[in-house]
Amino acid sequence: MNKKETILPLITDRNFHVLRLLTWFGLLFLCLSFFILFRGYKISFLIFLSISILLLNANYIIKEYSVVGNIYLLPDKIVVKPTVELEMKYILEDLKDIEVFILGVKGEFYGGRAITTKTGVDNSIVFQYLGESKSIRFLLKQQQVSQLSEILQIWQLNGVKFKLHNQSRERFI
């Protein structure tokens, strides 16, 4: 059997509500800055505009996730290690409705003439195991793209049925 494996950081949500609140305050400051500009206060406009830009880009300053372990993707199984002591093994033959969602690679531009980049945290593997739905979120960096692509190709060659939802610019299969 092929000894290929892909190791991806296992992540969990963090600071989601704080980031949403900062985004709303950023929008409020942006509206206030243009109101101040129309009132003729150019220096105050620049200050409020700077604050709004910082608040709107808070997700690049404050991480919206925590790395809590690793996911090992192997030709015949998925191993999830959220801690050193805990390890969950899922044999691919026992899994149903496997779906791989690749929504972005860390550092990848959103598209067009975007000046912001993706954080690489909206990726997941979803499947049914013993009648229970499982969702595993992972961080995907540029250096892991080829490894993930290889393991997905091996799964495909081994007859593993899965759906790939790729919204990244990278090709995986």
For 47-100, write each residue's pLDDT tens digit: 999 999 988 888 677 777 888 999 999 999 999 999 888 999 999 999 999 999
- pLDDT at site 150: 95
- pLDDT at site 14: 64
- 1: pLDDT confidence band, cut at 50, 70 and 90? very low
Sheet holding 88-91, edge to edge: 88-91, 77-81, 65-73, 6-13, 132-138, 123-129, 95-102, 162-166
Fold classification of 6-13+67-166 is PH-domain like (2.30.29)
Tell me the whole-structure pTM to 2 decimals.
Answer: 0.74
Q: pLDDT at residue 113 above 80?
A: no
Q: pLDDT at residue 162 above 60?
A: yes
Q: How many CB atoms lie within 10 A of CB 20?
A: 13
Higher pLDDT: 12 or 77? It is: 77
Helix (H), strand (E), coil (C) string for 84-114:
CCCCEEEEHHHEEEEEEEECCCCCCECCCCC
The ranges assigned to domains in the chain are: 6-13+67-166, 16-60
- 3: pLDDT confidence band, cut at 50, 70 and 90? low
